[in-house]
Amino acid sequence: MHTIQIIDDQTGAPRFIANPLEPELIRNGVFIWYDGGSGAAAWDCPGMIVEVIPRKEFRVLSFDTMNIRTSWYDFVLDTRAHGSRKTMRIATPDEVRAYIDNQRTGLVECLLQASRQVQKRSEELEHFDQVYRTLKL
């Protein structure tokens, strides 16, 4: 297993990346794992390379949002540069599947909770209307 050392953008501390995404591995359909941040947003998730300009740049479908990132990433891996490119590593299908399953479970739970909240509020509104109709206003 190949490992590289980078300097963490947030802490300035050394960090090791196993199975880094080397330029020769960049092609459509490759699963990666990466982290980073911009402004208030931060991520630590898998993705898939979906668009490649050979030997120059590539783009990623983020499995966090299921959207193609607007950022283009350089082929060259500069461990001293800032940004998520230096944290990219090859991800296994099992890692990706587990992450996506977990994300989906969270979304389903959120919908179930919202549905329960709508039901509760509907019942409250019905009761409110019943009482309101009895008032002599």
pLDDT score recorded for residue 79: 73
Q: What percent of the chain has pLDDT over 90?
A: 60
Encode pLDDT of 81-102 as tens digits: 777 888 899 999 999 999 999 9
Residue 20 carries which side chain, given as an amino acid letter?
P
Q: Which helix (H) or strand (E) holds 80?
A: none
Judged by DSSP in three states, 46 sits in: strand
Question: How much is the pLDDT for 11?
Answer: 82
User: What are the structural domain ranges in the chain?
Assistant: 3-91
pTM of the prediction?
A: 0.78
In Å, what is the CA distance from 10 to each residue of 16, 28, 42, 83, 110? 14, 30, 11, 10, 31
> What is the overall mean pLDDT for the chain?
89
Q: How confident is the model at residue 107 (pLDDT cuts 50, 70, 90)?
A: very high
- 5 versus 101: which is more confidently predicted? 101
